[in-house]
Structure 1
């Protein structure tokens, strides 16, 4: 492809206002094929059909391009988790099970976004927008953990809701990364990834002495509904 042809395509994309979106889509395509660490800024420009210098009109470097993709991923992730949680309706446990399924579905259906979010090696503070989007997504998991904590039997040891949220997030992430993506492990399971996660979380909650079955949870409609949100970065307290 000649420089002149690239220049012409670059100018059309730029004047039409779609160069940024073309670069983001090109990067997503590359991530889907090679992983978040498997492409360069120049690769994204080539796939978008623009000159190597064109991406600098919108992005400082490859990391900024990746952070934009990761931010969009977390925004979609938050939306999916929030819809599944539905403020804990009709009961806490069944609502939380939907959150787990939504987590796995996102990893399965949007692997390029998932890779940019969790496998790109980006610093947590590289972008205020990315950090805020990640916090909002984690807040859904923490809200569910707070509601689950309210189901603990009276007088039983109750770990902090943030600790529970981190444990449950770790379990969800592990199952999603290992068994819910076409580009992950190929080990065959005797059950679905959703069933594996459900069993894992149930064992965890029962090990803590929590009331964690649907019949018991059906009576938890009067649970307190804590509104606290995480105050630290994604996955860790301040």
Structure 2
């Protein structure tokens, strides 16, 4: 693979892009800063102009991933969905689509061990992503009688956990966990079971 190098002085972004490739190839702990520098076409010493270490480089990749993730989730939530139920389901499918299209970012965000509180900027954008799903859950939960209505934070946490579980177990080629069903179908039926339990959709006849 030819070196991408960097142009117009954008060394920081060149290093992030190099790290994303290496994260996909080797995992978040399987590469060194020297390897990232080499792939970006610069000397190892140049890395330290922007990053103190590998964790900081991965954290920046995660932050950029969350920025994309927020846009994807916002679009799914607001793009003329016919109902609150459709909007919530769309955010779930957007989660799967993001994990499939941006695996390097996804790994940096969720599998690297880097805390979302690593920096204020990372924490802020991660909270924005969470708030999209929370708003979708809050909209839908208005259809549940108040005495049976879960807090939006709990509702959205359940949906997030379901999305994440489907991605981790069946959508990212986890060894030994091949599913006979497409990940989108697994997620949709899982959400359906959950929402039936809350009385938000009628039971199957």
| Counterpart among 123, 129, 150 of residue 115 in structure 2 | 123
Q: Hey, what's the Cα distance between the residues in 1 that align with 2:132 and 2:101?
A: 20
Q: Hey, what's the Cα distance between the residues in 2 that align with 1:81 and 1:186?
A: 30
Contact 1:37 1:120 in 2 (8 A): yes
Computing the radius of gyration from Cα coordinates, the structure with the larger value is 1
TM-score (norm 2): 0.89
Contact 2:6 2:41 in 1 (8 A): no
Q: Per-residue CA shift, 1:61-106, capped at 9, x if unaligned? A: 2111111110000010010011011177320111221111110011
Contact 1:104 1:172 in 2 (8 A): yes
Give the direction of change, closer, same or farther, for the CA distance of 1:103–1:185 in structure 2 (3 Å limit). Answer: farther
Please show how residues 51-66 of structure 1 align to structure 2 within 5 Å. 51-66=43-58
RMSD: 2.0
| Counterpart among 185, 194, 197 of residue 204 in structure 1 | 194
| Structure 1: 5+ residue stretches without partners | 1-8, 214-238
In structure 2, the residue matched to 1:222 is none
SS of 1:126's equivalent in the other structure is: coil
Q: Per-residue CA shift, 1:156-198, capped at 9, x if unaligned? A: 512111111111111111101221224x345332321111111
Q: Hey, what's the Cα distance between the residues in 2 that align with 1:174 and 1:159?
A: 21
In structure 1, the residue matched to 2:102 is 110
In structure 1, the residue matched to 2:164 is 173
Structure with the larger RCO, 1 or 2 (CA within 8 Å, 6+ apart): 1
TM-score (norm 1): 0.78
Contact 2:92 2:159 in 1 (8 A): no
How far did 1:124 drift? 2.9
Q: Hey, what's the Cα distance between the residues in 1 that align with 2:135 and 2:175?
A: 30
Between the two proteins, the alignment pairs up a number of residues equal to: 199
